[in-house]
Chain A
Amino acid sequence: MKVMAPMEEQLGFRDPELAKKVADHIKSLAPSYNVKFCHVCGTHEWTITHHGLRALLPKTVEVIAGPGCPVCILPAADIDEAISLALEGVTVATYGDVIRVPASKTSLQGAKASGGDVRIVYGVGDAVKMAKKEPNRDFVFLAIGFETTAPSTAVEVLNKPPENLSFLVSHRLIPPAMELLLGVEGLKINGFIAPGHVSTIIGVKAYEMFPKVYHMPTVVAGFEPLDVLFAISMLLKQTKDGEARLENEYPRSVMWHGNVKAQQLIEKVFKTVDGHWRGLGTIPSSALVLREEFTVYDARKKYDIKIEGSRDLLPGCLCHLVIVGKINPSECPLFTKACTPQTPKGACMVSNEGTCRIWAKHKIMER
């Protein structure tokens, strides 16, 4: 079989020579005063850390990580609900990163160790297949993720899944969280690097308010090292021009209107409500719940789940400050001491997209 290089490499978005030129360009654009750009995607943090991009930036240009890891902001209460179902004999299926996240007393992995049936799936389609294959068993799919993931849940809900499958929906929306960041005291962001794959669904247009209402330079960016460097250059150019514009660095995957079909399916299946985010509290109009016509698939309606006094943060854990980019992971006293990738105490150390885990894996101690 013909061996094919991954497409992004074929296209040249990892070209080190070009990266060096862009880094020089960034130096020429950097202001004498400090600027802080915020991304809101765990995959951006991974690209930046893995490729050592911060080392290429001038001292006055800082890039921080906002709440862009869906596993990190998943409320303990939602996992507590899944744990309670698993311990009552319902099979809980969810994404791999979720099962190790600490909830109030234990994790889904802990529930599995106590005899609960907890299964990892690659996507919601696998949960549908399992439920069809084992019709006498009750399945619940814990549906987490941002706008990138919500359409897949919508596709399966509309496909009339088997009656023994229901959904514990915990999808969240990114633009409301970006709005919240602008109000965080002392954070002072000078521009947004908007998340490429969330934007593939919602389109560039979803960020119009940031330059218009908040005068915040905003660039939608892809995930190759050059994509991120291009985006930083574009933000610096806007800063230099004293303008706030909405630009798209990632036109190969993101259109102005986004994926309209995916948006229509989301709209058909879900309604938008206020939502709780771990470490951030309640954000207005930031969560999706199933519309009433799909009540039969709503695990919260199907089962009588009683959860009280859920706890998002263990004592000493500073995930709530890491998640908004207020502190570096290394400023948390637990980081790589009591809290490690092997024994995570906070959600940010669990997921491959959590800032703490990315920094710990790459042995990074300062920004």
Chain B
Amino acid sequence: MCLAIPAKVIEIHGNNAKVDFGEGVLRDVNVTLVEPRLGEYVLVHAGYAIEVIDRKAAEETLRLWEEILKYE
């Protein structure tokens, strides 16, 4: 139920957006809860985008862990 899947925003029409879940799976989702820009990734839950994914933060998380584990 709390599953949320990342998808890329490819069109925005007011409170709705067309998103790409990858491998060509396109869907219309409601974006009232977020303010995405074209090309950004959003987390989609039950047809509603609940957050814009921060790719920089993702890369930073992995970089930090690589760093921590290097000194093992």
Are A197's CB and B60's CB within 8 A?
no
CA distance A262 to B46 in the complex (A): 15
For B24, list chain A residues within 8 Å (CB). 1, 3
Are A21's CB and B22's CB within 8 A?
no
Q: Is A130 an interface residue (CB 8 A)?
A: no
A105 to chain B, nearest CB (A): 24
Chain B minimum-CB-distance residue to A7: B6
Are A22's CB and B69's CB within 8 A?
yes
Within 8 A of B (CB), among A153-212: 155, 195, 197-198, 200-201
Are A145's CB and B2's CB within 8 A?
yes
Q: Is A294 an interface residue (CB 8 A)?
A: no
- Size of the B side of the interface (Cβ < 8 Å), in residues, is 39
A77 to chain B, nearest CB (A): 19
Are A4's CB and B51's CB within 8 A?
no
Q: Is A363 an interface residue (CB 8 A)?
A: no
CA distance A123 to B30 in the complex (A): 10
**Interface of B, helix, strand, loop or mixed by DSSP:** mixed
A98 to chain B, nearest CB (A): 9
Are A69's CB and B1's CB within 8 A?
yes
Within 8 A of A (CB), among B31-72: 32-34, 41, 43, 45-48, 50-51, 53-55, 57-62, 65-66, 68-69, 72
Are B54's CB and A148's CB within 8 A?
no
Q: Which 8 A-B pairs have the closest CB atoms?
A: A123-B47, A123-B46, A252-B58, A7-B6, A251-B57, A152-B48, A148-B2, A252-B57
Q: List B residues at the A interface (Cβ < 8 Å).
A: 1-8, 20-24, 30, 32-34, 41, 43, 45-48, 50-51, 53-55, 57-62, 65-66, 68-69, 72
For B8, list chain A residues within 8 Å (CB). 4, 7
Q: Is A353 an interface residue (CB 8 A)?
A: yes
Are A4's CB and B22's CB within 8 A?
yes
Chain A minimum-CB-distance residue to B56: A252
29 contacts between A and B (CB under 8 A): A1-B24, A3-B24, A6-B23, A7-B41, A18-B65, A18-B69, A22-B69, A24-B72, A28-B72, A71-B1, A95-B1, A123-B46, A124-B47, A146-B1, A152-B30, A152-B45, A152-B47, A155-B48, A197-B45, A200-B43, A201-B50, A249-B61, A252-B57, A253-B4, A253-B51, A253-B54, A254-B51, A261-B33, A351-B1
Within 8 A of B (CB), among A1-42: 1, 3-8, 11-13, 18, 21-22, 24-25, 28, 41-42
CA distance A261 to B58 in the complex (A): 23
Are B33's CB and A18's CB within 8 A?
no
